[in-house]
Every structure is written in C-alpha cells, then in structure tokens.
Amino acid sequence: MAEISWTEQVIDDFFRARKSPTRNQCDELALSISDASALHPVDVPGSLSYTVVCARTKCQDNHDNDSVVVSFRESSSRLDNEMVSLAQTIHGDGCLVPYATNHGIMSGSDPPFGIYTMPLLPGIACMEALSYTPDMDPEEEVKHVYFMRHLARYFARGWSAPQPLDPNKRNECHAEISRRLALLKTSTSSIVAISIISELETILPHLFANEYPQVLSHGDFTKTNILVNPDTYEITGIVDWSLAAVQPFGLELDCLFLVTGCMDLRGWHNYTCRPRLLEAFWVEFWTVSGIEDGVEREKVRCMAEAARMIGAILRYSFERNPDGGPSEVLSKSEAMLCMLSAWLGGDNV
C-alpha cells in the first residue's frame, strides 16, 4: 500500500475531527461556487481549514489566474475583512494580499464552516523553495539574498504605516504577554534563562509606549504562508490573515530565524551564508523605511531584537490555541523547544 502524503494526512485529520461535512461534499460545493471543472488541495494545507484550488472551465487562455481558491474555514480561523483590507492598503491591493469574498456558513456543517473564495496568487510556499541544507551554491545564495530583500520591504512597509491601537486593547495585549513571560519565569521546565526573561520584562513596556510604532502583524508569519517565485525567490504573496492584529513592531521578526537556517534529524543549522542574508535584510529595510541616522538605526534594531525574542518565545514556548494563537500552556514539543534553544543561543538579527 502506498504511503499517504503529509498533505493528505493533514486533510484526513481535519475531517476526522468533524461530524459534517465530508471532504467530498466540500469538493462538490467548491466546484459549484467557483464554476470550475476540476480541483486539487493546496500544497501546504492548514490545520484549521480545508483549501482547494479550483480550475475553471477552459475559456480563452488556460492560465493559473483563471483559477479560484475556495477555503472552508473553522470559525476560529475566519478572515476579518477589515484586517484584509488594511493589509492590502499597506502591501498593495490584490498583489501580495488576496481579496477574500465571504460566502457565509456552509449549511449543515458541524462545527460551522465559513466559506471564502479568493484569487489564486502565483508562486509556491517558501518552505518548498528555501534550502534544506546549511551550505548552498552561489546561485542559490543569490536567490536567498533576493528573498531577504523582499522580506525587508514587507517589514519596512509595516514600519512606515503605524496603526492606532485603542488604549484598552494596548493594555490587554501588554498584560497577555506579561502573563506568559511570568509563567515562563516560574516554570521549572522552561529553557529560557530567568535573566533573559527579566530583561524582556523590563523592555516590554517600551514596546507598548505611545512613541513606539504599533503595526499590522500577520499573526502566523511562517514559511507556509509566504509565497515566492520558484525561480527567483521574489515574494509573490502573503496568505491566511486570520490571526492578523495590531502589535508592536518586531514581534514577527522571529521569522528571520526560520528563513536563515534549516532543521533536520540532528537539529537546527544556520545557513553558512546567514550573516550575508541578515545584512541584506537590514540594508534593504533601512533604505525602504527611510531611516538614515546611525543612532536611530541602532535604537530601532535594539528594540526589534527584544521584540523578536519575545515573539520567538511566544511562538515556541507555548501550545497553540484552537485559533492558532499562543495559549498560556507551556509547550512540551521537543522540536519546538530545540529550535528555540538554538535560536536563543544564536546571533542577533
């Protein structure tokens, strides 16, 4: 018997936990909504949704942009139209961020499914493109540098478009992070040194100060949700904005760890060219954000360093809530804790 692929396993697990509908029922509805003749699941499925690419009946040119993405999403993973619109305003309407049409709740779904359609963006998930070995040839290294420059532009656009944050919401977010840091500090199983946590607790109020930029954050900015051109590694899209929120700048910079190294059975390995990749990121970030003063750059980078460490701790020290966000339950995943340990002991961003 042929071994079931990882993609099929994720999809099977998703439907196994549900009373209704079945996968076939979702497929039939997706074809009907999209007026398509064929479909296939996305290459990298999510744990809270079932998403398919529907190819419409041939008309004129049979191009990818004639295809439609249909996503069946749990209520905890719904897409907020206001957040998606804000992301489009910041990052380019319909270019990097796909517009999603809400088709309501699927009849008979238990638990309830929200149905969304959106255009198919070009590219593949960057987890399929970026190197899985620490060493790479010069051509591959050039493509990784190109990717880092595009990534820097994404963060620079966020920095340049600070968002208002209601004082109550600001205090609530601050308190949530403080609670998690306190939990780590008192845990006997935490791998994060108390001295590091204490330092972050001191810096945390400054991240929520009025003068520090609060920016639109994706909420799940990982290699599965960043699309790239497979030939050049140019970023072609950012998908799945279900966890988007306004947060202090830098909390998602922990992604710089993910995209400058790789994991295998022996553990985490930084790319040999990691220093060059990080330099490319920051040079591009300063250029696009317009930050020219050396003292200001040092201040911004210092705060970003603290924010990215908090982001990494929240992502990998705690279990995930049903909506995919961090809970207040400490993680026992050896893989996650292994990566966190390697990153905390590594170089700054």
Task: For CA atoms 171, 177, 183, 184, give the dihedral sign.
Answer: negative
The CATH number of the domain where 144 resides is what?
A: 3.90.1200
Chain position carrying tokens 């719904």? 78
Q: Are residues 33 and 143 in the same domain?
A: no
Whether 190 shows a pLDDT value over 50: the answer reads: yes
Confidence of residue 65 (pLDDT cuts 50, 70, 90): low
- Stretch 116-140: mean pLDDT: 95
pLDDT digits (tens, 9 = 90+) for 191-244: 899 999 999 999 999 999 999 999 999 999 999 999 999 999 999 999 999 999
**What residues have CB less than 8 Å from 85, skipping those under 6 apart?**
none
The two tokens of residue 223 are 């290699």
CA 347 to chain centre: 22
Whether 58 shows a pLDDT value over 70: the answer reads: no
**What residues have CB less than 8 Å from 207, skipping those under 6 apart?**
248, 250, 303, 306, 307, 310
Domain of 201, in residue numbers: 125-344
The mean predicted confidence, pLDDT, of the chain is 91
pLDDT digits (tens, 9 = 90+) for 248-296: 999 999 999 999 999 888 888 999 999 999 999 999 999 999 999 999 9
Could you write out the DSSP letters of every residue in 119-135?
EPPSSEEHHHHS-SSS-
Whether 143 shows a pLDDT value over 90: the answer reads: yes
- The pLDDT > 70 percentage for the chain reads 95
Whether 153 shows a pLDDT value over 80: the answer reads: yes
| Residue 62, pLDDT score | 46
The two tokens of residue 7 are 């993609």
Q: Are residues 52 and 112 in the same domain?
A: yes
What distance in Å separates the CA atoms of residue 332 and residue 326, rounded to the nearest whole number?
A: 14
Indicate the residue among 121, 140, 159 that finishes a domain: 121
CB-based burial label for 231 (10 Å; 0-12, 13-18, 19+): exposed
Indicate the residue among 84, 104, 121 that finishes a domain: 121
Is 349 among the domain residues? no
Whether 349 shows a pLDDT value over 70: the answer reads: no
Number of domains in the chain: 2
Q: Partners of 39 in the beta sheet?
A: 54
* 3-state SS class at 20: strand
By 3-state DSSP, what share of the chain in percent is helix, strand and coil, each rounded to 5?
A: 45, 20, 35
The CATH number of the domain where 109 resides is what?
A: 3.30.200
The two tokens of residue 322 are 């049903």
Is 80 among the domain residues? yes
- Stretch 77-99: mean pLDDT: 89
Q: Are residues 79 and 134 in the same domain?
A: no
Q: Are residues 161 and 286 in the same domain?
A: yes
Instruction: Please give the residue that has the higher pLDDT: either 155 or 44.
Output: 155
